[in-house]
Structure 1
Amino acid sequence: MEEVVSKTEFRDAMARVCAPVNVITTNGPAGRGGFTATAMCSVTDEPPTLLVCMNGRSAQCGLFLENRRFCVNVLTHDHTMLAGFFAGQQADMEARYAAAEWIEMPSGSLALADAIVSFDCHLTEARMVGTHHIFLGRVTDIRARQDGNALLYFDRNYVNVPTQVGSFGG
């Protein structure tokens, strides 16, 4: 029989995985919501699809499931405070949104005006696995900028790794 690693062992190991920090927003008939996530990745480019994970105990799950739309906003190092707000340091949703400038995407979800990239998504599938919802979203629109250093999460801290856009050693 295979041994199962403990929750603590798994969490400590995952803390060693560097991940981009994103604010995931929704806006629609159920209302406006948003949370900070590092669990986001591409799934396929035919059709363009992203995967986002959200804690199933979050009071906002219902908003995302009912609105059936979300926007993935990839943050820069300048957004460290905003990441904290959307991670729960600021409980009031209006105060979270008041801390930055937003642009309404075609779906109605809000894109961070100065995000590195924002992906407007239509929720195509939601599945509960363990403690988290896995959201699959078909990308319907993209806003991007050509500069900015990504905000990353590593060893349970926000970190900045300066980039040299267009510079690939060799």
Structure 2
Amino acid sequence: MPELSQIQKDFRSAMAHLPAAVNVVTTDGPHGRVGITVSAVCSVTDSPPTVLVCVNQGSATHDIFRNNGEICINVLSGEHEELARHFSGATKVPMEERFGWDIWEKDAGSVPVLRDALVKIVGRISDRSIQGSHSVIFVQVDRIEVQEERDSLVYFKRQFHRLSVTPELVAV
């Protein structure tokens, strides 16, 4: 791997200070079943509901997502740090084993959905744009399920953190 330039190092350092929700993005279909941990997920518009997901073109999962066409963005809750590590590849658990745990169900389509995800967003890839090393994948949303009363998992300063909702203080 080539050495990073100073601006690349500065950029990575700056992005480490940008808190981001942690997601496991999944797909299943004729090209395979895969999932990856992703923090680069963003809403685009609600007309029609569309989100974007950034995936490294060098990832072994990139073409599988693109070719299957349907994905699920599983927004992770606070207790899913270990799962995030597995799907990031940090633990070296094989892909099929990651889906072997009794935490997955199949959506009405074909994508694996994390049973107790904070939010489940299922949709079809509607467009893709290449920007440097990554594909910016646009996903038109078909279905959403939200579990309101849960903590969220965020990534900040190169570490996972649990973001808890605290009850509002009531003045007496």
TM (normalized to structure 1)?
0.91
Q: 1:9-158 alignment to 2 at 5 Å?
A: 9-89=10-90, 90-99=92-101, 101-158=103-160
Q: Secondary structure at the match of 1:6?
A: helix
How far does residue 32 in structure 1 lie from its aligned partner after superposition?
Answer: 0.3
Question: Does structure 2 conserve the Cα–Cα contact (< 8 Å) formed by 1:117 and 1:144?
Answer: yes
1:169 Cα offset (Å): 7.9
Shift of 1:66: 0.7
CA–CA separation in structure 2 for the residues paired with 1:68 and 1:119: 14
Q: 1:154 to 1:108 in 2, by over 3 A?
A: same
**Secondary structure of 1:63's aligned partner:** helix
1:156 partner letter: R
Residue 100 of structure 1 contacts residue 112 of structure 1 at CA under 8 Å; is this kept in 2? no
Residues 44, 29 of structure 1: CA spacing in aligned structure 2 closer, same or farther, 3 A cutoff? same
Residues in 1 aligned to 2:89 and 2:12: alpha-carbon distance in whole angstroms = 19
Alpha-carbon distance change, 106 to 157 in structure 1, aligned in 2, over 3 angstroms: same
> What displacement does 1:88 show?
0.6
Distance 1:73 1:169 in 2: 33
Work out the CA distance in 2 between the residues paired with 1:27 and 1:70.
8
Q: Deviations over 1:34-92 (max 9, x none)?
A: 10000001100010001000111101111111101110000011100000000012341
Secondary structure at the counterpart of residue 57 of structure 1: coil
Between 99-108 and 144-153, the greater mean CA deviation after superposition:
99-108
| CA distance, structure 2, for counterparts of residue 168 and residue 38 of structure 1 | 31
Q: Secondary structure at the match of 2:154?
A: strand
Any runs of at least 4 consecutive aligned residues in structure 1 with deviations exceeding 4 A, and if so which?
Answer: 167-170
Compute the displacement of 1:99 (Å). 3.8
- Give ranges in structure 1 of 5+ residues lacking alignment: none
SS at match of 2:113: strand
Query: 2: CA distance between counterparts of 1:6 and 1:109?
Result: 38
> Cα RMSD over matched residues?
1.9
Q: Percent identity?
A: 36
